[in-house]
Amino acid sequence: MSPRRALVAAAAVALAINALLAVDALTVGLLVPRAEARAPVAARAGAGAGVGEAATASRTGVAGAEAGAAEAEAAYRALVAELTRQKQALDRRAAALAEREQRVAGAQQALQARGGAPESPSGFERLVRAYEAMDPDNAAAALASLYGKERQAVTEILLGMKPRQAAAVLDALAARAPSVAAELSLAAWQRERGQRP
């Protein structure tokens, strides 16, 4: 037999043995123990990688996986501890807020019992706010009409308005009825000085 044929036959036998070992490792495990079956077949069949090296690589991989699992568990426990601490802090804040709300509610009840509850705006105050919100020309027309019926009310409305809105209304009123604007200005001035208009 020629050396070439002998080499081809040896390679074929080696290939058949490797295939048999791979099939055994993946199925029954009679020839290769189960621990070695977990190692990659390619690592055992690769060039220069012996069965002992594959087993060592398998043990190293298992040890690395165990270390990674322990590290993940430690991180999980640390996260749970941090979340527990934050929840306790939030619970304390919620309890303090609830206590404050109870104190405020008690103070409001006591204030209402004494008759010092804050009042809602009166009808007159709402009327003044309505005139403030109106267009100055429309407000001036309405106040000029009202001036002929109730001068005191028009004076009170102008004095209750914010200065800027009152000035805009008086300006529009002066363009429409200058004498009414002048009389209202005098009445407001006298009222502020404590004199009767």
pLDDT per residue as tens digits for the range 53-78: 545 555 565 666 777 788 888 888 88
Q: What is the DSSP letter of 120?
A: P
Domain parsing of the chain, residue ranges:
3-63, 123-193
Q: Which residue has the higher pLDDT, 126 or 3?
A: 126
Q: Is 168 helix (H, G, I), strand (E, B) or coil?
A: helix
φ, ψ for residue 13 (rounded to 5)?
-65, -45
pLDDT per residue as tens digits for the range 98-107: 888 888 888 8
pLDDT per residue as tens digits for the range 4-60: 777 777 777 777 777 666 666 666 655 555 545 455 544 544 544 444 554 555 556
Residue 135 has pLDDT above 90, yes or no: yes
| pLDDT for the residue numbered 49 | 46
CA–CA distance, 143 with 155 (Å, rounded to integer): 9
pLDDT per residue as tens digits for the range 114-132: 765 555 667 888 888 998 9
pLDDT per residue as tens digits for the range 142-163: 988 888 888 888 888 988 999 9
Look up tokens 């609830």; give the residue. Answer: 98
Q: Which residue has the higher pLDDT, 123 or 194?
A: 123
